[in-house]
């Protein structure tokens, strides 16, 4: 199998690394305007640096790691080649807010299309990859796609109308989590902890809490209640967060990100 990445930046590069981990014997092709960065990644992955047209003519799976505003130009540059090439191929777009219907218009050819929204933890194999697909996409293509990204994290199929809302949590959420980690660490420093220790404790706590919820399947409120002893330290901290409308602010952040994604699309 030949897997091509048009756009090998932070996200495209992370997915390329996951693809190599999952498919050690397959051919990986990379294309990026920053050729030096693509060559560095190619050396690490035993991949080849080529141009967009080479990927369009040869790749079985074509990952598009380009910004939404550049998608039309990129697809316009390879759509003619895709119309004339033989065999089958699958387009995989990670352009935020751009629906499959618009990708079809840019592409100008009937082809299997998978729209994905990954998040930054894919770089350490703990990502969340949301995906939906066009009606002509076969189950075989979907199975191969999920195999390619199996080392990147969890892969979740959603109705396309829910992708943007889900992305406002999984895609934007790492930034919220990082703000929370930083704020927790700042509080620890204010209480006398060294900065490095405070950051490590906050990060490990957040990672462990997430794993506990996923492993048990318990509602977060139940897990929260288990930590809050009567008249204890934790419930006092929770009360302070609620005084600042903590949950309302988080909800509003997700809603604002969702609305902005719609505007970008």
Same domain, 209 and 111: no
Q: Is residue 11 part of a domain?
A: yes
Same domain, 152 and 178: no
Q: Is residue 123 part of a domain?
A: yes
Same domain, 194 and 155: no
Q: What pLDDT score was predicted for residue 111?
A: 87
pLDDT at 110 over 90: no
Q: Is residue 28 part of a domain?
A: yes
Residue 181 falls in which region: left (phi positive, over 0), alpha (psi -120 to 50) or beta = alpha
CATH code of the domain containing 8:
3.40.50.720
Q: What pLDDT score was predicted for residue 71?
A: 93
Closest CA to 181 of 158, 201, 151: 201
Query: Pairing between strand 127-133 and 90-93?
Result: unpaired
Same domain, 197 and 108: no
> Which two tokens mark 1?
């199998």
Into how many domains does the chain fold?
Answer: 2
Confidence of residue 86 (pLDDT cuts 50, 70, 90): low
Q: What pLDDT score was predicted for residue 196?
A: 98
pLDDT at 211 over 90: yes
Q: Which domain holds residue 90?
A: 2-159
């Amino acid at each position: 199998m030949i897997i091509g990445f048009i756009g090998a930046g932070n996200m495209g590069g992370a997915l390329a690394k996951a693809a190599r981990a999952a498919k050690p014997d397959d051919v990986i092709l990379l294309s990026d305007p920053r050729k030096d960065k693509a060559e560095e990644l190619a050396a690490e992955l035993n991949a080849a640096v080529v141009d967009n047209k080479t990927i369009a003519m040869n790749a079985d799976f074509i990952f598009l790691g380009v910004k939404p505003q550049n998608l039309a130009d990129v697809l316009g540059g390879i759509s003619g080649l895709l119309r004339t090439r033989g065999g089958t191929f699958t387009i995989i777009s990670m352009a935020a807010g751009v629906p499959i219907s618009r990708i079809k218009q840019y592409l100008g050819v009937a082809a299997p299309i998978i729209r994905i929204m990954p998040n930054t933890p894919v770089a350490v194999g703990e990502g969340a990859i949301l995906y939906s697909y066009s009606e002509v996409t076969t189950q075989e293509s979907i199975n191969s796609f999920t195999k390619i990204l199996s080392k990147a994290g969890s892969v979740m199929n959603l109705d396309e109308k829910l992708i943007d809302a889900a992305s406002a949590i999984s895609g934007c959420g790492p930034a919220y989590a990082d703000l929370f980690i930083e704020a927790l660490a700042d509080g620890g420093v204010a209480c006398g902890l060294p900065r490095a220790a405070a950051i490590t404790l906050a990060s490990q706590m957040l990672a462990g809490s997430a794993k506990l919820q996923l492993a048990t399947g318990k509602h977060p409120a139940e897990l929260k209640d288990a930590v809050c002893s009567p008249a204890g330290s934790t419930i006092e901290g929770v009360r302070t967060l609620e005084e600042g409308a903590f949950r309302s602010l988080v909800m509003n952040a997700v809603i604002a990100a969702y609305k902005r994604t719609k505007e970008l699309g």
